[in-house]
Structure 1
Amino acid sequence: MLKKMVLSVAVAMLAVSVVQAPASADPGFTPSRTDFVGVGSDTTQDVVNALAAAYNKRKPANRLASFNATGSATFTPKAGLPKRARVVGSSNGIKALQADTEGAYDFARSSRAKKTDGTEATLTFYAFAQDGVTWAVNYNSFAPKNLKKSQLANIFKCSSSARYWDQVGGKKNGKKRVAIRPWLPQAGSGTRSFFLGAIGLTDAQVGSCVNQKASNIENDGKKVGTNRAVIAPFSIGQWVAQAIYGKNDRHGKLVLGRIAGVSPTTGKITISKKGAVKGKNIRLNASDFPRQHLRLVYNVVRNEEAAKFEPIFGQTGYLCDQTKIIRAYGFEPIGGGCGAIS
């Protein structure tokens, strides 16, 4: 069991060393029946793709094959198996792993923790990095730079006290009030469930003003759109990877907001008049950002197969040594917490 979330980083650590890694995409090969295939979280797909590509250069007997949450409508998980629908989101990846009877899936990427209601008792969750979730708006938004947890809750409840940006410290468009347009990713998204939990809401409390279409994909500014009134949750690690390091960049013109006056990132970010982002020494602010908005991310396997994944996902396994790749994709290594299971 993971007893403690690692929430701080040493002051003396060097700036992120960006390693050269292949472009994030589905694996460039059709996995064999003995390869290890993973599906699920959009948040961790890029970093796991890069880790898998690096691992496969070692020519292991069982290659890692990580399939994106987005892409073609169908894909072939392993040679000899029929095509099937793309698996989108942490919960859907976990369900696909649980329901699999053909040996199509071997692990699931998850940006949420293991459920405590017993429905995932047959699964082992391996923690491998730290992330956080905050709110994002377009660079020229009417939103303020800072929002409190209570204000975020009211926005996504569609409360009458938070229907317009000027009610929560934002701006009017001249003399005209600007209605807030909240946006959430699809059901099954780990980022969606984590963000709602962090601001104290359940799915049932989400208001009718919220755009929560099934086609909404997390951490994708192009899906969120360019409306100056929109607000959406966004993985801090994904935003750093995309906006700062250009990893599978789809952040559009979204920028991250502060919570309770605390920035989600360290370092200095500059934003041009056209929304271009530049930054130096940009990292997840694991030391000061509100604890409830920080999370661990995981790879999930079946309990009976955990032993064969220990050399990959375990505390002395391959992934836990790859701190440069993890940082290059915006996430924070978790030291001795890496490979801990729940």
Structure 2
Amino acid sequence: MRHISKVGLGVAGVAVLLFSQATAAHADVAAQGNDIVGIGSDTIQYAADFLADGDYQGNPGFNAAGGRVFNFDATGDASGKLTAGATVVLRGGNFPVTRPNGSGGGLTYLTQTDTGAVHKVQFVRSSRKPTKAEDDRAVANGWGGLRCYQLGLDGLKIAVSKTVASNAGTAGISTADLKKIYSSPPQITTWGQVTGYNGPNPGATIVPILPPATSGTEQFFIAQIGLTEAQLRTTAEGLVRAEEHDASVIQSNANAIAPFSTARLVMIHNGYFNAGAAQDPITLLSGGSAFDVTRPVYFIVRNSEINTSWNKALFAPNGFLSQSFLAQPLIEDSAGFTYQYADAGLCHTA
């Protein structure tokens, strides 16, 4: 599926910009020449779509003079469900590649694969800062590091089913208990072992769900609960891997839990994935000691390209993203994030 917008807003320095999302590679309009290509995070892919094409509430997106921007979603499904093995042609005249899924997938492609003289990708959507290793690769590639432009803030909580009565109770799950649930070997496997549990079925087995290891949400979440990839519970120990923020894998399971974006739940509630019909298939645990964190989300570019005309018009200060009267309705009202623009400069984690 792809979306093409022709709504002009007169932002100086750029010609026609379009954001597109792709499914089957042979069916897509391919990026050419000076077109601008973005990949990466599932969490913020819709915010990027809305920024260009406008949103489902009638707010116009960005379209000006000069080149086109293609925003390829993390999976081949427009509702954000996992499409295993999905491929995409990132730029015309090239072979299809496995679709870079997640912040980690996008940053890996940018810094390890797209290193030739002619780049296929210009920006990565990311729900976390680059790691030092990713930034070091950008430096080694001659780009002077990675530049981060913050578009807003996202909340992350634990989701449980609302379609069927969840066994989770209402007391929430603390960070300490989540570590015990997601660690290998698991120290908590049933609801009755959760601190302060007040639900109906203490003997039921918890079903912990995580996004793929390339997901920025997965990487951020496990760091927040004090685990590394090597310390994570395995699928043989009952861990389920699924696309991030996919309510369908949670809503019919009374014992399922997963980290979930508060922004994505706004879109679900608003009916974006159900032809405009409001829906609440999941609920987010809140209150008390329940896991509840806020994180910034970013567009990331090569620092060597911050003075290009496309970056100045789109991401840099005084560009479209920085103008709240244009960007805030798209990012906050429709995509669900708290709009908070910042040029975060050269950034990476320790």
2:344 aligned residue: 340
1:315 aligned residue: 317
Gaps of 5+ in 1: 1-21, 263-288
After superposition, the Cα gap between the structure-2 partners of 1:179 and 1:128, relative to the gap in structure 1 and judged at 3 Å, is: same
Determine the C-alpha separation between the residues in 1 that align with 2:266 and 2:184: 29
Question: 1:186-225, CA deviations, whole angstroms, 9 ceiling, x for partnerless residues?
Answer: 1110000111111222122212334244xx2101122446
Determine the C-alpha separation between the residues in 2 that align with 1:23 and 1:77: 13
Identity %: 30
2:336 aligned residue: 330
Determine the C-alpha separation between the residues in 2 that align with 1:56 and 1:138: 34
Shift of 1:161: 5.1
Determine the C-alpha separation between the residues in 2 that align with 1:180 and 1:165: 6
TM-score with structure 1 length normalisation? Answer: 0.75
Q: Is the 8 A contact 1:222 1:252 kept in 2?
A: no
1:69 aligned residue: 74
After superposition, the Cα gap between the structure-2 partners of 1:201 and 1:57, relative to the gap in structure 1 and judged at 3 Å, is: closer
Determine the C-alpha separation between the residues in 2 that align with 1:75 and 1:144: 42
Secondary structure of the residue aligned to 2:258 is: strand
Secondary structure of the residue aligned to 2:295 is: strand
Picking from 210, 222, 239, the partner of 2:265 is 239
Picking from 265, 268, 286, the partner of 1:258 is 286
Matches of residues 273-312 of structure 1 in structure 2 within 5 Å? 290=292, 293-308=293-308, 309-312=311-314
Picking from 179, 182, 186, the partner of 1:156 is 182
Shift of 1:113: 1.0
Amino acid at match of 1:107: F
Secondary structure of the residue aligned to 1:96 is: helix
Picking from 169, 173, 178, the partner of 1:144 is 169
After superposition, the Cα gap between the structure-2 partners of 1:198 and 1:160, relative to the gap in structure 1 and judged at 3 Å, is: closer
Determine the C-alpha separation between the residues in 2 that align with 1:161 and 1:74: 38
2:233 aligned residue: 207
1:15 aligned residue: none
Determine the C-alpha separation between the residues in 2 that align with 1:260 and 1:310: 44
Q: Is the 8 A contact 1:237 1:331 kept in 2?
A: yes
Question: 1:284-330, CA deviations, whole angstroms, 9 ceiling, x for partnerless residues?
Answer: xxxxx95xx21111111112112121321112211122001011211
Amino acid at match of 1:311: A
Amino acid at match of 2:120: A
Determine the C-alpha separation between the residues in 2 that align with 1:302 and 1:154: 38
Determine the C-alpha separation between the residues in 1 that align with 2:110 and 2:274: 28
1:108 aligned residue: 124
1:184 aligned residue: 210
Secondary structure of the residue aligned to 2:344 is: coil
After superposition, the Cα gap between the structure-2 partners of 1:78 and 1:190, relative to the gap in structure 1 and judged at 3 Å, is: same
Determine the C-alpha separation between the residues in 2 that align with 1:88 and 1:259: 32
Amino acid at match of 1:52: A
Q: Does 1:39 align with 2:39?
A: yes
Q: Is the 8 A contact 1:90 1:190 kept in 2?
A: yes
Q: Is the 8 A contact 1:186 1:217 kept in 2?
A: yes
Amino acid at match of 1:164: T
Amino acid at match of 1:339: D
Matches of residues 16-55 of structure 1 in structure 2 within 5 Å? 25-26=21-22, 29-54=29-54
Shift of 1:253: 2.1
Q: Is the 8 A contact 1:110 1:298 kept in 2?
A: yes
Determine the C-alpha separation between the residues in 1 that align with 2:126 and 2:273: 19
After superposition, the Cα gap between the structure-2 partners of 1:24 and 1:221, relative to the gap in structure 1 and judged at 3 Å, is: farther
Q: Is the 8 A contact 2:100 2:106 kept in 1?
A: yes
How many residues were matched structurally? 286
Question: 1:45-102, CA deviations, whole angstroms, 9 ceiling, x for partnerless residues?
Answer: 1111111224875332122210011117222222222222211110110111122135
Secondary structure of the residue aligned to 1:338 is: strand
Secondary structure of the residue aligned to 1:241 is: helix
After superposition, the Cα gap between the structure-2 partners of 1:57 and 1:182, relative to the gap in structure 1 and judged at 3 Å, is: closer
Shift of 1:25: 4.2
After superposition, the Cα gap between the structure-2 partners of 1:259 and 1:205, relative to the gap in structure 1 and judged at 3 Å, is: farther
Shift of 1:150: 1.0
Q: Does 1:95 align with 2:97?
A: no
Q: Is the 8 A contact 1:38 1:66 kept in 2?
A: yes
Amino acid at match of 1:258: S
1:12 aligned residue: none
**Over aligned residues, Cα RMSD in angstroms?**
2.8
Determine the C-alpha separation between the residues in 2 that align with 1:75 and 1:249: 26
Secondary structure of the residue aligned to 1:108 is: strand
229-238 or 63-72: bigger deviation: 63-72
Amino acid at match of 2:35: D
